[in-house]
Each structure stands twice: as C-alpha cells, then as structure tokens.
Amino acid sequence: MPPPTPKTLSPIQSAAEIIRKSKRGVVLSGAGISTPSGIPDFRSPHSGLWSKVEPLEVASALSFRYDPLRFFEWLRPLARQILTAEPNAAHLAVSRLQQMGFIQTIVTQNIDGLHQKAGSKNVLEVHGTFGTMTCVKCYTKVSSQPYLRPYLEQGMIPRCPSCGGILKPDVILFGEQMPYQPWRQAQKASQHCDLMIVAGSSLEVLPVARLPMQAVERGAHLIIINHTPTYLDVRADVVFSDDVAVILPQIVAEILRQTPAE
C-alpha cells in the first residue's frame, strides 16, 4: 500500500478521526469499488458497458421478456468477469472497518458479491444478486450455482427444473422494482446511521442516490471517495477524488495509528 502523500494526508487524518468516533456507520458502494478487481463500470465514456450498447435494448425488463437470448449473450462475458473476480484492497478495508466495529451495514449497488468474498456481513444488495435465479413462468427460485458452468462454458440458457421456463438472474433490470427487503433495510440504516461512507459511487442512480442525503439530513457525517464529483460533495465532511482502493486502506492504516494499543 503506498503511503499517504502530503496532498491527502490531512483529509485522511480527518476521515480516520470521524470514523473512529462512529458507532452506526454505513458504507454505500458503487461500481468504482469493483473496477480495480477488473469489473467494468456502466457509465464511463469509453470503457463503460453502456458506451458499447444501449441499455434498454439488452438490460430492461421489457427487452428480456421479448428477447432473453440477446440478454444472456450480452451478459455472458460480464458474468464471467464477475464470477472470477477477487476482492481488492477497498473491499478488504471495508471488511476491516466492519470488524473493528465502526461500520454496521454495507449497502451496495453492485451485483458481484465481492463484499461477501472479502468477509463483510450485513451486505444489502439493492440492485439484486447473481446468487439466485427466478423462473419467469412459475416463479420458482433456485441457486445459480448449478447453472453457471453450462451457461459460461457452453452458452446454455438456464431452464427451470419445475416447468422448463427461462431462469432469470435475480439482478435488477431497467423497469424492475428493487428487492423490497434489502431496500427497506438500506433506508432504515441510512436514516439511523451516524456516518455514511460513499465508496466508488457517482450518486447518479435513483433512488439509491438519495440515501446519503437522508443520512446527512439526520445529522450523520459523510465521507465521499469517488473519482468524479457527486451532487453531495458540498455537504460532505471529507471528499477524496481518487481511487477508493488506494484511499480506504490508507484511512484504515491511519485509524490503526490513531488507536492506542491495549
């Protein structure tokens, strides 16, 4: 891990001090926390997934209904990247902060499961998960695991074991509602937290982008780590326009330095 530079030393110290005083912290993570693990984001001008294809044509509830094969063809390389990716330093830092008792809840817009691979608990996947699939005909829900290898290696479309209908991964497509329980829990955590850390999210996707505002309006501290500006930068205690996989480990190291040895 590279040492803090003079430019970022003071903000790192400030962020560490804020985190050390928190007891009900929430991390809101977006695509930027997983790009260092090799997973492309959606909105970067040249490398993002939506720079190559119109999202409503392949990743909407309507397009899936009428042309599921195109969806699965588009998803296949991305699914392979997601399922072989490993947590990076940012995921591990979030897990460490949770183990230290400063972070209670992780709200993620990602569907890659890397927070869980890093050892984090109480991860709310508000945009769905690859872990399960649901039949579009009879609504049977199954584990994705038995279907992944035939799909990734041979392109076999997952079929329901009960009725033969197509199994749709439980990721949220355009035009679909977010999963009720994770979203309700995310709202509750945001409304009762004393700190929110935005890690790798541009805060452009609603309604998740409103969660940090809910926290700030109830008196919570706000730390934002993201390459590009967000609409809430002016309300944040500390803002880092940098790589979350660099900054978060530096903050953890500073917390350990500030914490007296027992």
Domain of residue 222 covers 1-39+87-127+177-262
pLDDT digits over 18-35, tens only? 999 999 999 999 999 999
Task: Return d(Cα 251, Cα 224) in angstroms, integer.
Answer: 12
Question: What pLDDT sits at residue 49?
Answer: 46
231-254 average pLDDT score: 97
Among residues 171, 195, 229, the one where a domain terminates is 171
Number of structural domains the chain divides into: 2
Mean pLDDT, the chain, as a whole number? 89
Question: What pLDDT sits at residue 98?
Answer: 97
- Catalytic annotation on 127? yes
Among residues 108, 141, 171, the one where a domain terminates is 171
Percent residues over pLDDT 90 in the chain: 71
My answer on whether 163 and 225 are in the same domain is no
My answer on whether 66 and 196 are in the same domain is no
My answer on whether 159 and 250 are in the same domain is no
Task: Please report, for residues 26, 47, 141, 225, the alpha-carbon distance to residue 185 in angstroms, rounded to integers and kept in the order given.
Answer: 12, 33, 22, 23
Choice among 91, 127, 192, 221 that is catalytic? 127
* Nearby residues of 241 by Cβ (< 8 Å), 6 or more positions away: 226, 227, 228, 229
My answer on whether 132 and 115 are in the same domain is no
My answer on whether 132 and 121 are in the same domain is no
My answer on whether 207 and 253 are in the same domain is yes
pLDDT digits over 105-160, tens only? 999 999 999 999 999 999 999 999 988 999 999 999 999 999 999 999 999 999 99
Q: Report residue 74 as tokens.
A: 């588009």
My answer on whether 247 and 155 are in the same domain is no
Name which of 227, 191, 226 is nearest 211 in CA terms: 191
Helix 6-20 and helix 244-258: axis angle, to 10°?
A: 60
Task: Return d(Cα 33, Cα 228) in angstroms, integer.
Answer: 13
Q: Categorize the per-residue pLDDT at 1 as very low, low, confident or very high, splitting at 50, 70 and 90.
A: low
Question: What pLDDT sits at residue 63?
Answer: 86
Question: What pLDDT sits at residue 56?
Answer: 57
29 Rama class: left (phi>0) / alpha (psi -120 to 50) / beta: beta
| Three-state DSSP state, 262 | coil
Q: Are strands 25-29 and 195-199 parallel, antiparallel or unpaired?
A: parallel
- Looking at 128-207, list the stretches that DSSP marks H as alpha helix, in order from N- to C-terminal side: 145-154, 180-192
Name which of 161, 230, 150 is nearest 198 in CA terms: 230
Own/partner contacts of 113-121, CB < 8 Å, gap of 24 or more, are: 113/82, 114/33, 114/34, 114/37, 114/85, 114/86, 114/87, 114/88, 115/29, 115/87, 115/91, 117/86, 117/87, 117/91, 118/87, 118/91, 118/92, 118/94, 119/92, 119/95, 120/91, 120/94, 120/95
